[in-house]
Chains A and B, each alone.
Chain A
Amino acid sequence: MTPVANPSLEWLRLAPALAPVVGLLLVLLVDALWPKQRGLHVAIGAFSLAAGASAAVPGALSTADAPVLSLCVPGGLDGACLWSAGPIASTLQIGVLASTLAVLLLMLDRDRGDAVDVVLLLGAAAGGVAVAASRDLGTWLVTLELATIPIVALVALRGAGRAVHAATTLLMTSLLSFALLVVGVALWLTATSDPSFSEVSVRAAWADPTTRPVLAVAAIALIAGLAFKLSLVPFHAWTPIAWGEGPIPVTTLLASTSKLAATAALIVVLEPFAALVGARPGPHAVAFVLGALAIASMVVGTVVAFRQHDVVRLLAWSTLAQGGWVVLPLAALTAAGARAASAYALVYAAAVIVAFAAASTLPSRRLTAYTGLIRTHPHVGLPLAFALLTFAGLPPGVLGLVAKVAAMRAPAQVGLWPLSVLAVAGVVLGIAVYARWLAVLVASPVPGGAEGSDGEPFDVGRGAMAVLAIGTALLLVASVLPNVLFGLLG
């Protein structure tokens, strides 16, 4: 028996993350051999994303007790594996890969999707997939950054002055967030003397009064670092700038893929705390920070979104509130909370992709340009209306409603129902925001409305059409049979 065993390595189990990496290398290779083959790059990218998503299906169908494990260290601390993809992590991985695929399709309409774009997209996707399954501090930190940095480049690429400004803001934010995460990781290591997120060491560290505050501060620093990526108040300042100035496909990436990756990373951090629920003293500080972030984001995000006249900015501010909804169930620190949070994040990602696909077809971003869209262009207006109703959580957007019910249920289950009462403000303000847009959609059409004042034609590209159709179909099916989604999450 060797004293230091190499971790086990099962290629197929790592395929969700490896497929985009292989795709990335292939694109680089193809670009070196036959430059300017845009179609080929996009095809390779799409294929590797789809392959990764299908490789994650076994994990999504597994149970929480028997996750898909790999990179296990024999004889390591409690048999730790560096890769552990249970139902929640795997379903989020599928969400990350599918949303990246949607972004790729949207890029096609914009004459983007060359080798650099595809490589950056695949890099971000690989990072997001890996962070969901990572269980050790090092991998978690590195893959989380891998999911972030390519997006900075995508915002800046081929952009004019304002886009560079947006990219700089995003970069500064990412650095700040990285600093907080590093501090958090260091404190975590100090408190638990274990380089992984495991229940055993968290319980031990919490039981010891000297390490307990260190662990609490570590968790709060990690939450704060991730709050930047989830655009939670007060860590949100970059969001309207980066969203508003970047091209729509990249904004879609920030809204969906990036948010799913951050949610997955947060769940990895908070999962071990489930062992402390009911302990004395309980992890109240962590729950309080999460609850406060959630409520503040809901209120600030919706109030500011209500005043916006530019739809991308409206979505940018309302994503603060939606991030709050993702974090609200996590405040319960239970497995049910993690399920509800991932369900909410996935529903939001699907709806926001549909909304941005619709927005990308209109030449103008002014709210007034949407007047009467349901009647003039029902194939864009109806999916957009459905996405907005899903955000608002009103039937026929039943999926959004069910996700909200699940999100409010998790805190209520552990006696935190006053938090849900505060969330009522979030529900009502959110509905006011989306109803304002809906009222414009269903109003009587005005001459030249959707075409914009400059008379630019209304052009629905094939990529946007495909995203609209598939996204709406997914939302519809899951509205009728919500357990398609909730079943995957275990």
Chain B
Amino acid sequence: MALIVLVGLPLLVGAVLVVAGRALADRVSRGLALAAVLVALGVGIGASWTRPSFDVAWLPELGLRLHLALDGVSVPLVLLTVVVGVLVVVLARDSMPEGGSPATVLGCLLLVEGGALATFAARDAVLFFVAFEVVLIPMWVLITRFGDPHDLRARREAGHRFLLYTVIGSTLMLIGILVLVTSAGTSDFSELLSAGAELPRGRQLTIALLLTVGLAVKVPVFPLHTWLPSAHTIAPTVGSVLLAAILLKMGTYGLVRLPLASVPEGFAVIAPWLAIAGVVGIIWGALVCLVERDLKRLIAYSSVAHMGFVVLGIASGTEIGLQAALYGNLAHGVISALLFVVVGGLKSRWGSVDLGRVLPALREVAPHRGFFLILGLAAALGLPGLAGFWGEFFAIVAAWQPADLADIAVMRTCAVVAAIGGLLAAAYSLRVANLLWIGDAHPVEWSLDEEMEDSISSSSDHSTDAGRGAGAGAGSGSRELSTEVETSGGERLVLLVLSAGIFGLGLMPWWAMDVMAPSIQSLIGVRP
């Protein structure tokens, strides 16, 4: 029953808020949303402890059951989701994206949260797919309706691209699920563990291909990642946070739950290819980050790189690899959420965060925001003691000693390349820190670029158009950026919680690892 509340309450309140729209007073809708996410937080923590289970027939004609339960793999993600759910609602208090009624924004946030919780709690493969699809439309509304107010065309394009890419992925995954379910004769995850493994090798390979390609779009894995940067750049801050912290996690969770656990033989065949795609993503993402000017887009590309490490861990097929992947998944959720809050706050005040301009030094004008930025960058480059370290370190260790010794040459090469990618991460993190935190550096390489002059004048027009937040300093026609970019109350609270998460995950990795270990062993334990 607790799980029905956990999943159903955000969905129900979200639907009510979206339908009610302006009919509800602002305060009522905010209160309703906050109450819903707080209840979800409480129930989520309780359910992670008691691990209840819920199982009723939903659509017997298709063999579809409403079967929800939590295990070690899903508990950390459920906790991440309920915490981030509270954080985005708190964040929306200060920086409510413009373009429609606040109730619609909050409703969409809740629908995404509910859909993600349903995805992580689903124990039935077809239900998993249905829950997977629930998040699409609310996220699409957040991007197209409430995204970057400057560019309507780009907003629409980014929204459509997000929707269509992820739908291609999820439909391929659906076919994989349908073939798997009809071949194995069951759609229950725990029964699929043994029923799927008994299928003939060729059939397993077909299913694994369909599932992996489908889920790789969502993760995203190079070269299927092209929807992510535009979606992140355009989405409002709350949307970017949800996208990075929750939506991408659904892809990696699905990879572990479906192809890896259900059709192990088939997955083993494509694992090296997945590993190669992962490390290409690491290098590609890092190289783009070294030259990208738009900071939001840069963080999106760094997500591609981090997800490369996660995929590498999954591809290794070992217990350490899976630990690393799921831990890296969690860490990336916290780190990228923090970075998007920091940068989203800047973007809403400046109109854009273009690293090609002369930027005020955050260490001086906004020491708190500057600190959080440095913390996020340090965690992203994998500094030991912070959250990002364990996932990347153990992913490389796992790739060095893969489960399938036949692929050892490929996997060790991947491990080496991934380590180089880790170095590149340090380079681009320092680049951002240099330009934004130390600041006042004239970016020589573009100083004479006419295009840049245009972008300065046009974006300062934008900041006067937008003229919101603490935008008092964005003087009309002035080329100076506002220096009043210090974190505001709600923002600071959110950043503090996320920082605590970064330190917590970095200093006490055994906590989450112990929760995950038994379930991971059972996922790969039944292998022949």
> Interface of A with B (CB < 8 Å)?
339, 374-375, 378, 382, 389, 394-396, 398, 401-402, 405-406, 408-409, 412-413, 417, 420-421, 424, 427-428, 431-432, 435-436, 439, 442-444, 482-483, 486-487, 489
Contact status A382-B19, CB under 8 Å: yes
Instruction: Give 21 CB contacts A-B under 8 Å.
Output: A339-B61, A375-B22, A375-B100, A394-B137, A394-B167, A395-B134, A396-B134, A402-B64, A402-B130, A405-B62, A405-B178, A406-B61, A409-B178, A424-B172, A427-B171, A432-B164, A435-B163, A435-B164, A442-B141, A482-B58, A487-B60
| CB nearest to A444 among chain B residues | B99
Which A residues touch B57, using CB under 8 A?
Answer: 483
Residue of A382, A412, A486 near B61 (CB, 8 A) is A486
Which A residues touch B22, using CB under 8 A?
Answer: 375
Give residues 19-41 of B contacting A (CB, 8 Å): 19, 21-22
With A412-B178, A486-B59 as contacts: A405 and B172 at CB distance below 8 Å: no
Which B residues touch A398, using CB under 8 A?
Answer: 130
Q: Report the minimal beta-carbon distance from B333 to chain A, rounded to whole angstroms.
A: 23
Which A residues touch B126, using CB under 8 A?
Answer: 405
B179 close to A (CB within 8 Å): yes
With A435-B160, A439-B144, A439-B159 as contacts: A395 and B62 at CB distance below 8 Å: no
Give residues 250-307 of B contacting A (CB, 8 Å): none
With A395-B133, A398-B130 as contacts: A482 and B144 at CB distance below 8 Å: no
Which A residues touch B21, using CB under 8 A?
Answer: 374-375, 378
Question: What does the 1/0 interface line of B142-157 toward A look like (CB < 8 Å)?
Answer: 0011000000000010
With A375-B21, A382-B19, A417-B178 as contacts: A435 and B115 at CB distance below 8 Å: no
B168 close to A (CB within 8 Å): yes
Which B residues touch A395, using CB under 8 A?
Answer: 115, 130, 133-134, 136-137
B140 close to A (CB within 8 Å): yes
Cα–Cα distance between A396 and B134 once the two chains are bound (Å): 7
Which B residues touch A428, using CB under 8 A?
Answer: 164, 167-168, 171
Cα–Cα distance between A285 and B130 once the two chains are bound (Å): 34
What secondary structure prevails in chain A residues at the interface with B? helix
With A394-B133, A435-B160 as contacts: A417 and B61 at CB distance below 8 Å: no
Which B residues touch A374, using CB under 8 A?
Answer: 21
Q: Report the minimal beta-carbon distance from B119 to chain A, rounded to whole angstroms.
A: 12
- Number of B positions contacting A (CB below 8 A): 41
Cα–Cα distance between A339 and B60 once the two chains are bound (Å): 13
B182 close to A (CB within 8 Å): yes
Cα–Cα distance between A412 and B15 once the two chains are bound (Å): 34
Cα–Cα distance between A374 and B101 once the two chains are bound (Å): 12
Residue of A382, A394, A436, A482 near B59 (CB, 8 A) is A482
Residue of A409, A432, A439, A443 near B182 (CB, 8 A) is A409
Contact status A408-B133, CB under 8 Å: no
Q: A405-B174, A442-B144 are in contact. List 16 more A-B contacts (CB 8 A).
A: A382-B19, A394-B133, A395-B115, A395-B134, A395-B136, A396-B15, A402-B59, A413-B182, A417-B178, A421-B172, A424-B168, A428-B167, A431-B163, A435-B164, A483-B60, A486-B62
| CB nearest to A409 among chain B residues | B178
What secondary structure prevails in chain B residues at the interface with A? helix
Contact status B178-A420, CB under 8 Å: yes
Contact status B179-A417, CB under 8 Å: yes
Q: Report the minimal beta-carbon distance from B121 to chain A, rounded to whole angstroms.
A: 16
| CB nearest to B155 among chain A residues | A439
Cα–Cα distance between A435 and B157 once the two chains are bound (Å): 11
| CB nearest to B177 among chain A residues | A405
Contact status B171-A409, CB under 8 Å: no
Q: Report the minimal beta-carbon distance from A294 to chain B, rounded to whole angstroms.
A: 15
Which A residues touch B171, using CB under 8 A?
Answer: 424, 427-428
| CB nearest to B137 among chain A residues | A394
> Interface of B with A (CB < 8 Å)?
15, 19, 21-22, 57-62, 64, 99-101, 115, 126, 129-130, 133-134, 136-137, 140-141, 144-145, 156, 159-160, 163-164, 167-168, 171-172, 174-175, 178-179, 182, 210
Contact status A405-B134, CB under 8 Å: no
With A395-B115, A395-B136, A432-B160 as contacts: A408 and B130 at CB distance below 8 Å: no
Residue of A339, A389, A482 near B137 (CB, 8 A) is A389
Which B residues touch A483, using CB under 8 A?
Answer: 57-61
Which B residues touch A406, using CB under 8 A?
Answer: 61-62
With A405-B129, A424-B168 as contacts: A417 and B175 at CB distance below 8 Å: yes
Contact status B167-A427, CB under 8 Å: yes
Which A residues touch B156, using CB under 8 A?
Answer: 439
Which B residues touch A444, using CB under 8 A?
Answer: 99-100
Cα–Cα distance between A280 and B61 once the two chains are bound (Å): 29
Q: Report the minimal beta-carbon distance from B148 to chain A, rounded to whole angstroms.
A: 14
Most buried by A among B133, B140, B144, B175: B175
With A428-B168, A439-B156 as contacts: A401 and B133 at CB distance below 8 Å: yes
Cα–Cα distance between A486 and B63 once the two chains are bound (Å): 11
Contact status B182-A412, CB under 8 Å: yes
Q: Report the minimal beta-carbon distance from B388 to chain A, rounded to whole angstroms.
A: 33
Which B residues touch A421, using CB under 8 A?
Answer: 172, 175, 210
| CB nearest to A386 among chain B residues | B19
Cα–Cα distance between A435 and B165 once the two chains are bound (Å): 13
Which B residues touch A402, using CB under 8 A?
Answer: 59, 62, 64, 130
Cα–Cα distance between A427 and B21 once the two chains are bound (Å): 30
With A378-B21, A395-B115 as contacts: A487 and B159 at CB distance below 8 Å: no
Contact status A489-B115, CB under 8 Å: no
Contact status A412-B179, CB under 8 Å: yes
Cα–Cα distance between A444 and B140 once the two chains are bound (Å): 15
Pairs A-B, 7 closest by C-beta atoms:
A486-B61, A395-B134, A412-B178, A424-B171, A427-B171, A420-B175, A482-B59
| CB nearest to B140 among chain A residues | A435
Most buried by B among A378, A395, A436, A483: A395
Contact status A489-B144, CB under 8 Å: no
Q: Report the minimal beta-carbon distance from A379 to chain B, rounded to whole angstroms.
A: 11
Which A residues touch B145, using CB under 8 A?
Answer: 442-443
Cα–Cα distance between A339 and B168 once the two chains are bound (Å): 26
Cα–Cα distance between A339 and B100 once the two chains are bound (Å): 42
